[in-house]
Amino acid sequence: MNRNRLLLIVLLPLLLTLAAGLGYAVLSLPEQPQYLQQLVMDNMADSGVSHPVTAVLLNFRAYDTLLEMVVLLLALLAVWSLDMADPQHKTAPSLVLDTLTRLLTPVLILVTAYLLWVGAHAPGGAFQAGSVLAASAVLLSLAGWRLSDKLTALPLRIVLVAGPGVFIILSALSMVLEGQLLKYPVAQAGLFIVILETFATLSIGATLAALFLGVRPGKINKNKDRKHK
Amino acid sequence: MNPANFYALVGIGLFCIGLFGMIINSHLLRKILAFNIMGSGVFLVLVALGRRAENLPADPVPHAMVITGIVVAVSATALALTLMIKVATQTGQATLPDEDDK
């Protein structure tokens, strides 16, 4: 206790100083710079979408988004490589959870599609849609639903890499067409972005749900088989 | 004070609260939560500073970066939680060993 109190006495002034310093830094910032913003606004017509954030994410700075998809995949690989035990629930889900999941899953999938589509001209897009999709998958898994064994081996992995994969294919295509990485042809930019976002949504949803479950699918069944033999 | 500065200051407050929690708590779950609060503070500062001038539209570049950051933070949190569970199952406690304990 004594040590903790001493820690508090030293720590609080230090943190308050840090907060004051950061606050001063924020308040004394110069006027909002307009260079990047102006650059985005000037090129909106060529971006293929009408919402500036989506244009930045999937066109002007698509390289960041591509790397981000890879980071997601990398995190999943790291989680799978930790070889977690499966926390399988043997009890049946309660009536409330069961009914709610049945009602909500179609709605959540609809919301996913809406968010994906609306991203072109309003707040929304692949990441928001992907996280809603992941939420529905998490809800399903909490209610005791699991992907069938046939789907967990190769099909799940294909879905997981579809986002980054299609991204890389399209960026290679853009190099062939326009001679520069991720520089979409202006006329087809909208189509490029819709394709990218669709696959990215599926991948992000699957990756986040798999991150939540934490268990490498297929592993448990293999162990079961071994026991039987 | 315009709203953007207010939100930015709130973000700084969240960051410092998270830092405090991270130093004070030894339980790893609390540390991970505190780290996420710190991250939320940083995101709030970035989003707020994207729209400092009230007569201008919001700057989309920091906003797009924040979306990227949130997704990366979620995946990093998942990895951290998995590591924590692994530590807890291996050692029986969800804290890192202290130097004094040796």
Number of Cβ within 10 Å of residue B26's Cβ equals 12
Residue A214 makes CB contacts below 8 A (sequence gap 6+) with A79, A82, A84, B78, B81, B82, B85
Q: Which domains, ranges and CATH numbers included, belong to chain B?
A: 3-95 (1.10.287.3510)
pTM above 0.90, yes or no: no
Task: Please tell me the total number of residues recorded for chain A in this structure.
Answer: 229
Closest-CA residue of chain B to A73: B75
**CA A157 to the chain's CA centroid:** 16
Instruction: Give the residue, A31 or A135, on which the prediction is more confident.
Output: A135
In A56-188, alpha helices (H)? 62-81, 95-118, 126-142, 149-152, 154-178
In chain B, which among 42-101 make CB contacts under 8 A with chain A? 45, 49, 51-53, 56-57, 59-61, 63-65, 67-68, 70-72, 74-76, 78-79, 81-83, 85-86, 89
Q: Which residues of B touch A124 (CB under 8 A)?
A: none
Mean pLDDT of A30-36: 76
Quick check: A178 and A110 in contact, CB under 8 A?
no
- CA dihedral (A36, A37, A42, A48) positive or negative: positive
Smallest Cα–Cα separation from A136: which of A216, A210, A205, A204? A205
Give the model's pLDDT for residue A228: 43
pLDDT at B80 over 90: yes
Q: Is the ipTM, as predicted for this complex, more than 0.90? A: no
Quick check: A109 and A85 in contact, CB under 8 A?
no
At residue B101 the predicted structure's pLDDT band, cuts being 50, 70 and 90, is low
Q: Which residues of A touch B57 (CB under 8 A)?
A: 37, 41, 52
pLDDT at A4 over 90: no
Tens digits of per-residue pLDDT, A188-223?
888 888 899 999 999 999 999 999 888 887 655 444
CA distance B99 to chain A (A): 15
Give the model's pLDDT for residue B100: 66
Contact A23 B19 (CB under 8 A): no
Tens digits of per-residue pLDDT, A73-129?
999 999 999 887 766 666 777 888 889 999 999 999 999 999 999 988 888 888 899
Token match 């991948």: residue? A203
Domain boundaries, chain A: 48-216
